[in-house]
Homo-oligomer: A and B are copies of this chain.
Amino acid sequence: MTIVKKAFMSIVGAGALAQLLLAAAPVAAEEYSIKDGVLKRPTGYREWIYVGTPVTPNDMNNGKAAFPEHHNVYIDPKSWSHWKDTGKFREGTILIKELVSVGSKAAVSGQGYFQGEFIGLEATIKSKKHFPNEPGNWAYYSFSTKDHKTLAATAKPFPTASCNSCHLASASDDFVFTQYYPVLSAGKAKGESAAGGHDSDLNNSYVEPKGN
* A179-212 CB contacts (< 8 Å) to partner B: 179-183, 186-187, 194-202, 204-206, 208-212
Collect the chain B residues with CB atoms within 8 Å of residue A53's CB.
53, 55, 70, 72, 115
CB distance from A116 to the nearest CB of B (A): 7
A112 near B200 with CB under 8 A, answer no
Interface with B: A2-10, A13-21, A42-50, which one?
A: A42-50
The 0/1 profile, CB within 8 Å of B marked 1, for residues 124-153 of chain A is 000000000000000000000011111111
Please determine whether B57 and A182 come into contact, CB atoms closer than 8 angstroms: no
Chain A, interface SS category: mixed
Q: Is A24 an interface residue (CB 8 A)?
A: no
Q: Is the CB of B108 within 8 A of A170?
A: yes
B62:A211 contact, CB within 8 angstroms: yes
The verdict on A54 contacting chain B, using a C-beta distance below 8 Å, is yes
A103 in the interface (beta carbon within 8 A):
yes
Further contacts, 12 of them, CB under 8 A, given A118-B202, A149-B204: A45-B196, A46-B187, A56-B111, A61-B110, A63-B209, A63-B210, A65-B109, A68-B208, A96-B196, A103-B179, A108-B169, A148-B206
